[in-house]
Structure 1
Amino acid sequence: MKSVSIIFALLLSSVSYAQVEQEVDSFGGNEALYMKAKALNPEVENEVVQNRFINRTKRVELAPEFSGVFGGDSYNKTNNVGLNAHYHINPSWSVGVKYNYSFNTLTPEGKAMVSKADQAAAANPKDPQYLFPQVVYPKSETLGMVNWYPVVGKLSFGKLGVAHFDTYLTAGYGQMELSTGTSPAATLGVGFGFWLSNNLTTRIEYRAQQYKAEYYDKTENMMTNVASVQMGWML
């Protein structure tokens, strides 16, 4: 009878350990469950693994984008609207294409220079004292992108639910169409991807971008900063 009790206790302990281990090896694992699993079988090494909640292996993500550009031509301000297509090779890597169409406006400094040139042309049309400034502005860009997602986490919004996220690094290369022609462009940045459901996605991204602008008398190496928000759908 005593032997039966011992065997029953061992079986119960094994089942309890397996249940706790299963809970630990999930997105919601915590230190308390880890310590319970450790106490049940101290000879076995356990790790709390934060599994990704949403399957992103061999899936396509389409994400419209709005972005603001900081830097570039001092007389011009640029905002972009565009579309991203990401192919997720696995949860850690994706490749894709980014296309943006640019909308441009003069900065206060640019407007002041144009107004000054207008007045000078009206006062002396044949030999104005000030000339209209040359403004080189982007018209569109097409970039091939590579994204790496090394860190996964989650955010709790109380009764609204939990949003799962990845911190990622992004790099790309392609071409920009400018008002004076085309230029190769390279970009490097960081971002946060929020996976609100198995299909709905949101990204907040910051990139540094480099290209060359051709002026009448010089070629200038432009370094800009691009901040964007993307809302997408995982197919």
Structure 2
Amino acid sequence: MKSLSLVVALLLSSTSYAQVQEEVDSFGGNEALYMKAKALNPEVENEVIQNRFISRTKRVELAPEFSGVFGGDSYNQTNNMGMNVHYHINPSWSVGLKYSYSFNTLTPEGKAMVDKANKDAAANKKDPNYLFPQVIYPKTETTALVNWYPIVGKLSFGKLGVAHFDTYLTAGYGSMELSNSSTPAATLGLGLGFWVNQNLTTRFEYRAQQYKAEYYNKTENMVTNVASVQMGWML
């Protein structure tokens, strides 16, 4: 009888240990585990990150964006403002649409070339020696997107709360309207998305973009880098 009681006690102990171990090994633990830890030593303040509490299945995310473009026409600098619409199929995949409007300014090199051409045109009105540079710049962009979120994590802000994040890969294809034509454009990049609560989202994204620009005497294959910040709202 004593042997049987010992076996039963061992089995119960093993089951309880397995349940606690499963909670510890799971992503973040839960409130029950927190209460157990606090009961063992009430003088010690414990914090437990909760399991994923933000649903991203069959939800729409609206995300205004500001981005800076590095590369492209050497005489031009571009910044974009736009809107992203993401449809989250599940926490791992989403599809979306991006629309951006571009703001362009001449680079110092571009300004120097324009000033040089202006001075030459004033001095040699009939037969100028320098031509104004041809500057090709983006005006708008429309891109269809696919996003994949393979890695998830959580970040504790202490008593302020917990935000979980996903590192994601993004790929897209669409159309870009340039100053002198329209051209197909492809993009590929990666990002870090923070899901603060059931509605508020933040994304930091870096992507490479490829398109073609038609100059007077050549076709240039443009490869630019785009860094962006998005502040979104989940419906």
- In which range does the TM-score fall when normalised by the shorter chain? 0.7 to 0.9
1:135 maps to 135
Counterpart amino acid of 2:101? Y
Shift of 1:129: 1.3
Moved more, 2-11 or 163-172: 2-11
2:94 maps to 94
2:207 maps to 207
Conserved? CA contact 1:174–1:186, under 8 Å: yes
1:47 maps to none
2:188 maps to 188
Counterpart amino acid of 1:171? A
- Counting only pairs closer than 5 Å after superposition, residues 87-126 of structure 1 correspond to structure 2 as 87-126=87-126
- Counting only pairs closer than 5 Å after superposition, residues 140-159 of structure 1 correspond to structure 2 as 140-159=140-159
The percent identity for this pair of structures is 82
C-alpha distance in structure 2 between counterparts of 1:21 and 1:56, whole Å: 28
C-alpha distance in structure 2 between counterparts of 1:111 and 1:222, whole Å: 21
Counterpart amino acid of 2:213? A
Computed over aligned residues only, the root mean square deviation of the Cα atoms, in angstroms, reads: 2.4
Name stretches of at least 5 consecutive residues in structure 1 with no aligned partner: 34-49
Secondary structure, in 3 states, of the residue corresponding to 1:231? Answer: strand
1:72-104 deviations in Å (ceiling 9; x for gaps): 000000000001111111111111101110000
C-alpha distance in structure 2 between counterparts of 1:216 and 1:15, whole Å: 77
C-alpha distance in structure 1 between counterparts of 2:126 and 2:159, whole Å: 72
Aligned residues: 217
1:82 maps to 82
C-alpha distance in structure 2 between counterparts of 1:130 and 1:227, whole Å: 35
Q: TM-score, normalised by structure 2?
A: 0.84
Conserved? CA contact 1:192–1:205, under 8 Å: yes
Secondary structure, in 3 states, of the residue corresponding to 2:114? Answer: helix
Name stretches of at least 5 consecutive residues in structure 2 with no aligned partner: 34-49
Conserved? CA contact 1:67–1:228, under 8 Å: yes
Shift of 1:68: 0.1
2:13 maps to 13
Shift of 1:13: 2.6
Conserved? CA contact 1:27–1:53, under 8 Å: no
C-alpha distance in structure 1 between counterparts of 2:174 and 2:123, whole Å: 45
C-alpha distance in structure 1 between counterparts of 2:192 and 2:132, whole Å: 42
Q: TM-score, normalised by structure 1?
A: 0.84
Shift of 1:156: 2.3
